[in-house]
Amino acid sequence: MKLLVNTQNVLGHIAHNNEEDIAHLHGTVPAELEDWVDDGLRASFGDTTFGSEQPENVKLIARMWNSEIRLAVTAKALVIAANPEKELPLDSDFSHGLYLAARAADNQFSTYGNCGILADNGCGFCAFSTILTNRVCRKPTELSVG
């Protein structure tokens, strides 16, 4: 999963690419995920891009974020449209992928989805979402993507 985190909101400060901030980020995200999932899911991290170090890379990711959500839904819809006589497979990898793509397009985070955003929800606490808004990406130096 590609996860965009507003470190200013989540950690209380702008994170940098150093051991202390990475450890803090990697400790906080699983704690936030506990409200969303059972004990069976473990958060894993790949390479993390810190906006404090590479704001242009974060801006590039942000520009593509919502388009990737749209493309995922469109790809599933095209498969269905291309095979109108074929029955939609139920309880399958395809139907699950369609479900996850539709959830992301509806700004509903899923721990099994392809993307998520952890940021302040505008009401004073952090929450997960999927659709990138201008409010979230206004200050790329406050974001990290992993």
Q: From CA 50, how far away is CA 124, in angstroms rounded?
A: 23
Helix and strand element counts for the chain (H, E): 5, 5
Checking if the pLDDT of 136 tops 90, the result is: no
Written as six digits, the tokens of 27 are 């400790």
Q: What residue spans define the domains of the chain?
A: 2-37+44-121+134-145
Residue 119 near residue 25 (C-beta atoms within 8 A): no
pLDDT of residue 7: 95
pLDDT of residue 45: 64
Rounded to the nearest angstrom, the gap between the alpha carbon of residue 17 and the centroid of all alpha carbons in its chain is: 20
Q: Which residue has the tokens 């940021």?
A: 119
How are beta strands 2-6 and 115-120 bridged, if at all? parallel
Report field, pTM of the whole predicted structure over 0.85 = yes
Residue 115 near residue 107 (C-beta atoms within 8 A): no
The string of pLDDT tens digits covering residues 39-93 is 545 566 678 999 999 999 999 999 999 999 999 999 999 999 998 888 888 999 9
